[in-house]
């Protein structure tokens, strides 16, 4: 249905073939080039809407878009002008690229009728770098929220699970996503402030995502856990201690699993059911993180490791996860 490649050469494909999101983040460990493949047993129809390549079944849609930041740079002088409007001050090349990506994604969902955005993956080049006096992650958050509001969609409560990670210098902004006709159940973490309610110290516009989403389908449920890190309340915990950050991250994931089990009445979502994608800021920290995951998930843990900057400079590791539970009836 859809593919995301990490640090892999371009895949050969026909114009009407499966959509491929090509992401420039190095793979760590022995995995080599990595392809993340989303599969279905249902019939698939592929197509293009604006800049979005997609494949869809009767129930689900996978899509992806890549938008380069090739707009004109805004001069430092114009950013320093007190009379400049706040909206004008936000319109950096990354802001423009993000707003375009989300407007095209949302227009695709409206045109094709898959109104519920379930899970979104965002890869932002140089996510922690300051440009035009503002961190690029904050520029991204402002543009994403503006595009959602312009389309009439919520920016609190029923919002998709998501993550936002760094990508290599010179890469385009890459976004891939899953959407559905049916509404998911959104899950929050009792240990954390919801991201969309973060205080202004983290940016003029908060990140827009839920901690997790559960998609209900006839043959079972799929749990999508957003990018999760060592944050309790809204503050980073254990800055400078990668092992402790990894353990705290796993505690947050366990809290999300417990909440998902409570809300759905399943009781079947557990750490050892997860397929994990682990983002590591410093490759030298990989052995420490792997050891903590093996201790928590067992030697047979399904995890892949990618080198990527994380949304906060004081975070060393971020983990996202997916789990599926089949209906026994």
Active site residues: 318
* Helix (H/G/I), strand (E/B), else coil: 116: strand
Q: How far apart are CA 37 and CA 35, in angstroms?
A: 6
Q: Are strands 231-232 and 235-236 parallel, antiparallel or unpaired?
A: antiparallel
Which of 64, 54, 58 is closest to 1 using CA atoms?
Answer: 54
Structure tokens at 105: 């994604």
> Tokens at residue 159, please?
């919002």
Strand ranges, E, within 183-284: 185-187, 212-217, 220-228, 231-232, 235-236, 275-280
- How many Å apart are CA 95 and CA 143, to the nearest integer? 5
Cα–Cα distance, 269 to 299 (Å, whole number)? 19
How does DSSP classify residue 195?
Answer: G
Secondary structure element (H or E) that encloses residue 99, with its range: helix 93-112
Instruction: Say how many C-beta atoms besides its own lie within 10 A of residue 230's C-beta.
Output: 27
Which 3 state secondary structure label does DSSP give 66? strand
CA angle 138, 142, 148 (to 5 degrees): 140
Residues with Cβ within 8 Å of residue 244, at least 6 apart in sequence: 230, 237, 238
């Amino acid at each position: 249905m859809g593919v995301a490649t990490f640090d892999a050469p371009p895949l050969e494909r026909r114009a009407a073939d499966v959509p491929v999101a090509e992401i420039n983040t190095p793979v760590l460990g022995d995995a080599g080039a990595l392809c993340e493949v989303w599969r279905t047993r249902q019939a698939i129809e592929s197509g293009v809407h604006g800049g979005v390549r997609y494949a869809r079944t009767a129930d689900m849609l996978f899509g992806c878009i890549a938008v380069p930041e090739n707009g004109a740079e805004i001069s430092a002088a114009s950013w320093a002008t007190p009379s400049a409007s706040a909206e004008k001050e936000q319109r950096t090349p990354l802001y423009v690229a993000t707003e375009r990506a989300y407007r095209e994604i949302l227009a695709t969902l409206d045109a094709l009728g898959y109104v519920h955005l379930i899970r979104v993956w965002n890869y932002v080049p140089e996510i922690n770098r300051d440009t035009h006096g503002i961190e690029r992650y904050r520029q991204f958050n402002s543009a994403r929220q503006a595009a959602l509001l312009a389309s009439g969609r919520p920016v609190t409560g029923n919002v998709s699970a998501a993550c936002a990670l760094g990508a290599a210098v010179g890469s385009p902004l890459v976004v891939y996503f899953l959407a559905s006709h049916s509404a998911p159940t959104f899950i929050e973490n009792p240990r954390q402030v919801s991201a969309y309610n973060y205080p202004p110290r983290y940016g003029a516009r908060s990140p827009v995502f839920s901690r997790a989403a559960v998609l209900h389908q006839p043959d079972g449920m799929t749990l999508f856990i957003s990018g999760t890190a060592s944050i309790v309340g809204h503050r980073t915990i254990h800055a400078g201690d990668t092992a402790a950050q990894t353990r705290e991250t796993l505690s947050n994931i366990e809290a999300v699993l417990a909440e998902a089990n409570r809300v759905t009445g399943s009781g079947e979502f557990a750490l050892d059911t997860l397929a994990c994608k682990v983002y590591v800021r410093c490759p030298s920290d990989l052995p420490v993180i792997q050891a903590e995951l093996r201790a928590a998930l067992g030697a047979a843990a399904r995890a892949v490791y990618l080198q990527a900057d994380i949304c906060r400079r004081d975070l060393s590791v971020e983990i996202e996860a997916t789990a599926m539970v089949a209906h026994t009836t």
